[in-house]
Amino acid sequence: MPSDAERSMLAKLKSECGYQFTTKLEGMFTDIRFSKDAMDNPGSEVHAVVRPTILAVDLDVTTLTAGYWPMQATNTCRLPAAAQAVCEPFESFYLKQHTGRKLTWLTSTGSAEIRATFSQAAKHELTVSTYMMCILVLFNDLDHGAEITFAALAAQTQIPRNELKRHVVSLCTPKHRVLLKKSKGKGVSDDDAFKVNIKYSSKLKRVRVPLVAMKEAGAHPDSSDKVPAAVEEDRRHLCEATVVRIMKARKHAKHNDLIAEVTRQLSQRFFPQPQFIKKCIESLLEREYLERDASDSKMYIYMA
């Protein structure tokens, strides 16, 4: 839910810049508020649909209006049967309530809480991404200790390959080694096989498995992938803001050092190419946020 500070900031923006400037932000807040109210109200119709007592799966849905949220469309992955059993009734209910609307499941942005039993002594509740959940549930249908290849994971989950690689690697990190990778090395190929780490243990009952950056997973977005103009514009603003924030703190920085730091800070949101960052830096130079050092053209100086 929007905090008091966020509401206050929205009111100030609306007062200073006009209602047109804040229309999308207000729409975002409305989406979140309505969704949360519906999910939290046991007496609501939608609550009865997504929290059925006869199923072992609960569903928490946030319905977003596409025009308000800057997000890149991705293919929906193949959800496990148990999850699909609660998603389908919600979709039918929603489309009956809102005639003419289209509902698209954004499985790339969701999360899941699953109960995992590694051994009689090691039982944990894992908080993972939706993609990770789809990967892990496949092992329920395998024999104890059985392996599954990356190619089979891709075929059965329908997760985009770069994202699948990133999520599988995240499940194999030393700190959260939920899965074991049979082959050595950082890369992931179609023939690489994975199995559940039955020796996994943690001092925590609830374990959050973080997602590694694209670079750490050895996965990079295909340069041929088309990014919507609105998303590209949002990324440019984010990149420029990151450059300014870094330079404001450091006062001066070498070109390669700045590129590396911007990449590191943005890698959790998207993987910026060096050429993209360079264009953002050049734009900031033109607008006199930065300047080049007179004695070293590869050194940037922050202009307060």
Q: To the nearest whole percent, how much of the chain has pLDDT over 70? A: 89
Amino acid at 117: T
We report the CATH number of the domain holding residue 234 as 1.10.10.10
**pLDDT above 60 (res 22):** yes
Give the pLDDT score at 257: 93
**pLDDT above 70 (res 255):** yes
Is the residue at 51 inside a domain?
Answer: yes
Give the pLDDT score at 222: 46
Q: pLDDT per residue over 35-50, tens digit each? A: 888 777 766 677 667 6
Whether 128 and 201 map to the same domain: the answer is: yes
- Rounded-to-integer distance, Cα 99 and Cα 101, Å: 6
Whether 67 and 116 map to the same domain: the answer is: no
What value does the mean pLDDT take over residues 107-122? 87
Whether 136 and 186 map to the same domain: the answer is: yes
pTM: 0.67
**pLDDT above 80 (res 32):** yes
Average pLDDT of the chain is 86
Which of 187, 217, 247 is the endpoint of a domain? 217
Note down the domain range covering 207.
111-217
Q: pLDDT per residue over 186-238, tens digit each? A: 788 899 999 999 999 899 999 999 988 765 555 554 444 567 788 888 899 99
User: What is the residue-wise DSSP string for 171-197?
Assistant: TTSSTT--EEESS-SS---TT-EEEE-
Give the pLDDT score at 46: 73
Whether 206 and 235 map to the same domain: the answer is: no
Whether 59 and 154 map to the same domain: the answer is: no
Whether 192 and 262 map to the same domain: the answer is: no
Q: To the nearest whole percent, how much of the chain has pLDDT over 90? A: 43
Is the residue at 223 inside a domain?
Answer: no
Strand 296-302 relative to strand 252-254, pairing = antiparallel
We report the CATH number of the domain holding residue 115 as 3.30.230.130
List Cβ neighbours of 280 (8 Å cut-off, separation of 6 or more): 236, 239, 240, 243
Whether 202 and 239 map to the same domain: the answer is: no
Which of 217, 242, 265 is the endpoint of a domain? 217
Is the residue at 88 inside a domain?
Answer: no
Whether 237 and 198 map to the same domain: the answer is: no
Strand 206-208 relative to strand 123-129, pairing = parallel
Is the residue at 86 inside a domain?
Answer: no
What value does the mean pLDDT take over residues 160-169? 92
Is the residue at 101 inside a domain?
Answer: no
In the chain, the number of structural domains is 3
Give the pLDDT score at 146: 92
Give the pLDDT score at 112: 93
Whether 195 and 125 map to the same domain: the answer is: yes
Whether 203 and 141 map to the same domain: the answer is: yes
Whether 272 and 209 map to the same domain: the answer is: no
Paired with 300 in beta bridges are 253, 292
Is residue 2 classed exposed, middle or buried when 0-12, 13-18 and 19+ CB atoms within 10 A define those classes?
middle
Are residues 111 and 128 in contact, defined by beta-carbon separation less than 8 angstroms?
A: yes
Give the pLDDT score at 280: 94
Is the residue at 137 inside a domain?
Answer: yes
- Rounded-to-integer distance, Cα 194 and Cα 218, Å: 17
SS3 296: strand
Give the pLDDT score at 5: 79
Is the residue at 82 inside a domain?
Answer: no
Q: pLDDT per residue over 257-295, tens digit each? A: 999 999 988 887 888 889 999 999 999 999 889 999 999
Is the residue at 61 inside a domain?
Answer: yes
CA distances from 102 to 12, 63, 105, 130, 194 (A): 34, 11, 10, 21, 37
Which of 196, 217, 238 is the endpoint of a domain? 217
